[in-house]
């Protein structure tokens, strides 16, 4: 299994809808950041399923190292 790569040293703010399912790119290779486009398949990785708890702006992790994945926890400031 490959390791994830940094897609962005920062978060991706996205307006999400309550109850809607999102698939966050965990590998960092997707061209549809912060969401999965299937690029992970050749690297033995999988996206992370996330269901929005409310309609709001969510800040998805871009560095792929967050301890709160798929959401940003500021880890990007340390890499």
Residue range 56-73: average pLDDT?
97
- Please indicate whether residue 3 or residue 50 has the higher confidence score (pLDDT): 50
Tens digits of residue pLDDT in 13-64? 999 999 999 999 999 999 999 999 999 888 888 999 999 999 999 999 999 9
Q: Is the pLDDT of residue 1 over 70?
A: no
- Please indicate whether residue 3 or residue 71 has the higher confidence score (pLDDT): 71
Selection from 16, 36, 17 nearest residue 28 by Cα: 36
CA-to-CA separations, 5 to 15, 44, 57, in angstroms, rounded: 24, 13, 24
């Amino acid at each position: 299994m490959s390791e994830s790569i940094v897609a962005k040293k920062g978060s991706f703010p996205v307006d999400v809808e309550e109850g809607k399912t999102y698939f966050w790119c965990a590998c960092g290779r997707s061209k549809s950041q912060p969401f999965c486009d299937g690029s992970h398949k050749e690297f033995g990785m999988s996206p992370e399923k996330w269901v929005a708890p409310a309609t709001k702006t969510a800040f998805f992790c871009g560095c792929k190292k967050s301890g709160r994945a798929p959401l940003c926890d500021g880890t990007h400031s340390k890499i």
